[in-house]
């Protein structure tokens, strides 16, 4: 029982209520948001150090036992995700306050944003399938509001697709929970891990497939990704950035958690590996066809999800460690790229490559901030993406999965091509001063509050590359604890 | 009784899935609502046969399983809230466009036309 464990969920939720009470007073709402998210970051970071030092913790809320009460589990994988995600939420909040296009003076933006943060934290910490559903719903309801907050025709159109697809996934999730309960008599993940192997293989595989579809819709894996590139780009930039960085990764987290705990297979899973290959390839080909910065980046989210599923599909410690490292790298880099895309849009009023030119001449600082994460996304040394992809390739070769590794390398090359397309289209060329309608008169072309968090995130992604050794060690121990489902069960139910 | 309810669940899922595949927004929302009802009913059925109200009072009659009821209640509240949100969104869409049809992704259509034009 540790009082720290529920804090990353409780703090933002309480603050959301406070923020709602401060309805209409934007400055106060901003202060509440910043203070809360700083505290949440501190709590998550403390949890991370405690878990690394003393091993995983669990908390039975209200003192009820794990089989009837609500149980939160802070194992290494969960707290790593928690620490990275709360840092992203804080950075993007600063950016949102700095960016004039956010519309954060809308009285609902700050409360809903905090609810989103609480939902994301709860999804990582929960040790119960039904509470995972509730956490998803908290997070998704907040995301529906954030996506359509502007109320413009375009947002309503794409928001509708997003809401309907997500609701369908939620309905399937309830169905899955009901079937799991009917088959096993529990929804607690640790108890499920004990009872699942006793089920007939057919029932077990069906449940596994149903949950994979549910989380696959949220994670946007092939062939369930069509809603993502349509809906993400229309939201305000900070909203898109936080969705891109966190929401799909919560889906990936849920896939990894359930597959490892409940449906672990002995060797590489052909199904997951084929899904991974198709997701990578289709995502990147979609990106190449696009013309708008945010849409290109949205398709790359899909493509990158494939890499994470690839590591999971190998079902080895090396593969999982690479996946976890990849997720951390990806969250930081992807969020940064969207923030930079937002800066360009803010300065020029458009994200369409055919209308952009010469951003590097007019806004050199912004150009550097784009170049580093873009090269990292493609996996060029010495950036963090290179370390992540190297880990995946090594893990795949150790299992003799040459085809899928070949596909992943090809996709890296196409990613590089697609990034150079943005670079050539938007950043190179002659700068037409008339095009930079809203650009600030400095060398970055944007308010300092937009540049600062972006620069901090770029530095963070460089730090991930520099400290790759120790961080990879953490990812490896997280992977080892995931492989050993028994440890999770002992942690929750007691020795 | 359980067979009747199981059939009802199946019917709700079938009707919901059919409505969800329609082009009109109102039908899609009705489809989502039906699917939600089906899922909640399924959740309730997962508890097995019905029994006495689950109150511990010393009598040895079989009680019904309270957990799925609690889960279904939570799920009903969530489905209700989100359906209300969806209705508000659909109303907003109607105000903006005076049309109930779900539109294609505009940018996607544009890029598809580009591809056809070149070939």
Mind listing the pLDDT tens digit for each residue in A14-66? 999 999 888 888 888 889 999 999 999 999 999 999 999 888 888 888 777 77
**Helix, strand counts (H, E) of chain B:** 4, 0
Chain A interface includes B104 (CB < 8 A)? no
Mean pLDDT score, A272-287: 92
Mind listing the pLDDT tens digit for each residue in A71-109? 898 889 999 999 999 999 999 999 888 887 776 667 788
Q: Give CA separation, A401 vs A307, A392, A393, A397, A407, in Å.
A: 14, 11, 9, 6, 10
For residue A387, give both structure tokens: 């370390």
CA angle A349, A157, A211 (to 5 degrees): 115
CB of B67 within 8 A of CB of A185? Answer: no
Per the prediction, chain A carries an average pLDDT of 88
Chain B interface includes A133 (CB < 8 A)? yes
Rounded Cα distance, A305 and A293, in Å: 19
Contact A133 B97 (CB under 8 A): no
CB of A309 within 8 A of CB of A396? Answer: no
Residue B15 lies in a domain: yes
Contact A157 B93 (CB under 8 A): yes
Contact B97 A153 (CB under 8 A): yes
Best mutation target, B5, B40, B43, to test chain A (most A CBs within 10 A) = B43
ipTM of the complex: 0.90
- List of chain A residues whose C-beta atoms are within 8 Å of the C-beta of residue B92: 148, 151, 156
Mean pLDDT score, A129-156: 89
Residue B107 lies in a domain: yes
- List of chain A residues whose C-beta atoms are within 8 Å of the C-beta of residue B94: none
**Three-class DSSP category at A4:** coil
What DSSP character marks residue B21?
T
Chain B interface includes A156 (CB < 8 A)? yes
Exposed/middle/buried for residue B68 (C-beta within 10 Å: 0-12, 13-18, 19+): buried
Residue B85 lies in a domain: yes
Chain B interface includes A143 (CB < 8 A)? no
| Listed residue (A247, A211, A61) closest to A139, CA to CA | A247
Mind listing the pLDDT tens digit for each residue in A381-395? 889 889 999 999 999
Domain of B31: which CATH number? 1.10.287.3510
- List of chain A residues whose C-beta atoms are within 8 Å of the C-beta of residue B89: 144, 148, 156, 159-160, 163
For residue B119, the tally of other CB atoms under 10 A from its CB is: 4
CA angle A152, A157, A159 (to 5 degrees): 90
CB of A482 within 8 A of CB of A127? Answer: no
Mean pLDDT score, A124-131: 91
Higher pLDDT, A360 or A73: A73
pTM: 0.92
Peptide bond into A62 cis (omega under 30): no
Would the CA dihedral through A327, A329, A79, A40 be positive or negative? Answer: negative
For residue A256, give both structure tokens: 């990894």
What pLDDT shows up at residue A1?
47
What pLDDT shows up at residue B118?
54
Smallest CA–CA separation between B19 and chain A, in Å?
Answer: 12
Chain A interface includes B58 (CB < 8 A)? no
- Residue ranges of chain B whose pLDDT lies below 50: 119
**Helix, strand counts (H, E) of chain A:** 21, 2
Would the CA dihedral through A364, A365, A371, A377 be positive or negative? Answer: negative
- List of chain A residues whose C-beta atoms are within 8 Å of the C-beta of residue B96: 153, 156
- List of chain A residues whose C-beta atoms are within 8 Å of the C-beta of residue B32: 164, 167-168, 171
Q: Which residues, other chains included, contact A5 with Cβ-Cβ below 8 Å and sequence gap of 6+? A: A47, A57, A58, A59, A72, A74, A125
Domain boundaries, chain A: 7-493
Residue with tokens 């993400």: A232
Q: Which domain holds residue B6?
A: 2-52+64-118
What pLDDT shows up at residue A215?
93
- For chain B, what is the domain count? 1
Mark which residues 8-37 of B lie under 8 Å from A by CB.
16, 20, 25, 28, 32, 35-36
Residue B59 lies in a domain: no
Contact B93 A170 (CB under 8 A): no
């Amino acid at each position: 029982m540790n009082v720290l464990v529920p804090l990353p969920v409780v703090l933002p939720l309480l603050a959301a209520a406070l923020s709602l009470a401060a309805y209409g007073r934007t400055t106060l709402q901003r202060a509440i948001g910043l203070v809360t998210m700083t505290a949440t970051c501190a709590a998550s970071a403390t949890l991370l150090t405690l878990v690394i030092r003393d091993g995983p913790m669990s908390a039975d809320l209200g003192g009820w036992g794990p089989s009837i009460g609500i149980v939160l589990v802070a194992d290494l994988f969960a707290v790593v995700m928690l620490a990275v995600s709360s840092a992203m939420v804080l950075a993007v909040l600063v950016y949102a306050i700095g960016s004039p296009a956010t519309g954060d003076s809308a009285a609902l933006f700050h409360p809903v944003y905090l609810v989103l943060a609480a939902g994301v934290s709860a999804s990582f910490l929960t040790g119960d399938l039904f509470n995972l559903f509730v956490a998803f719903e908290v997070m998704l309801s907040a995301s529906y509001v954030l996506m359509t907050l502007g109320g413009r025709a375009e947002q309503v159109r794409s928001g509708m697709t997003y809401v309907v697809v997500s609701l369908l996934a939620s309905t399937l999730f309830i169905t899955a929970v009901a079937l799991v309960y009917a088959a096993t008599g529990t929804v607690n993940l640790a108890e499920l891990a004990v009872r699942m192997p006793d089920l007939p293989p057919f029932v077990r595989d069906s449940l596994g497939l149903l949950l994979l579809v549910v989380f696959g819709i949220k994670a946007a894996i092939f062939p369930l990704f069509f809603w993502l590139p349509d809906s993400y780009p229309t939201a305000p930039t900070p909203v898109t950035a936080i969705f891109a960085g966190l929401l799909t990764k919560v889906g990936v987290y849920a896939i990894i958690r359930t597959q490892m705990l409940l449906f672990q297979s002995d060797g590489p899973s052909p199904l997951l590996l084929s899904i991974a290959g198709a997701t990578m390839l289709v995502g990147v080909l979609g990106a190449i066809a696009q013309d708008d910065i945010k849409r290109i980046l949205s398709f790359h989210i899909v493509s990158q999800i494939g890499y994470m599923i690839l590591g999971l599909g190998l079902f080895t410690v090396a593969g999982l460690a690479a996946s976890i490292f990849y997720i951390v790298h990806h969250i930081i880099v992807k969020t940064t790229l969207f923030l930079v895309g937002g800066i360009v849009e803010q300065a020029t009023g458009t994200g369409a490559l055919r209308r952009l030119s010469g951003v590097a001449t007019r806004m050199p600082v912004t150009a550097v901030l784009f170049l580093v994460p873009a090269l990292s996304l493609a996996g060029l040394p010495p950036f963090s993406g290179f370390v992540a992809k190297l880990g995946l390739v090594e893990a795949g070769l150790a299992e003799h999965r040459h085809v899928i590794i070949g596909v992943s390398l090809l996709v890296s090359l196409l990613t590089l091509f697609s990034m150079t397309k943005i670079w050539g289209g938007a950043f190179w060329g002659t700068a037409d001063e008339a095009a930079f309608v809203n650009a600030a008169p400095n060398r970055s072309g944007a308010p300092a509050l937009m540049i600062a968090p972006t620069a901090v995130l770029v530095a963070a992604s460089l730090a991930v590359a520099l400290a790759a050794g120790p961080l990879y060690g953490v990812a490896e121990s997280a992977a080892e604890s995931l492989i050993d489902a028994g440890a999770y069960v002992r942690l929750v139910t007691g020795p | 009784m359980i067979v009747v309810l199981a059939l009802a669940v199946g019917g709700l899922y079938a009707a919901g899935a059919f409505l969800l595949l329609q082009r009109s927004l109102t039908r899609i929302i009705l489809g989502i609502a039906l699917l939600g009802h089906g899922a909640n009913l399924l959740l309730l059925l997962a508890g097995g046969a019905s029994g006495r109200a689950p109150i511990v009072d010393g009598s040895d009659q079989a009680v019904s399983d309270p957990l799925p009821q609690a889960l279904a209640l939570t799920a009903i509240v969530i489905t209700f809230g989100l359906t209300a949100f969806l209705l508000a969104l659909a109303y907003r869409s109607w105000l903006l466009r005076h049309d109930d049809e779900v539109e294609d992704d505009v940018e996607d259509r544009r890029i598809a036309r580009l591809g056809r034009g070149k070939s």
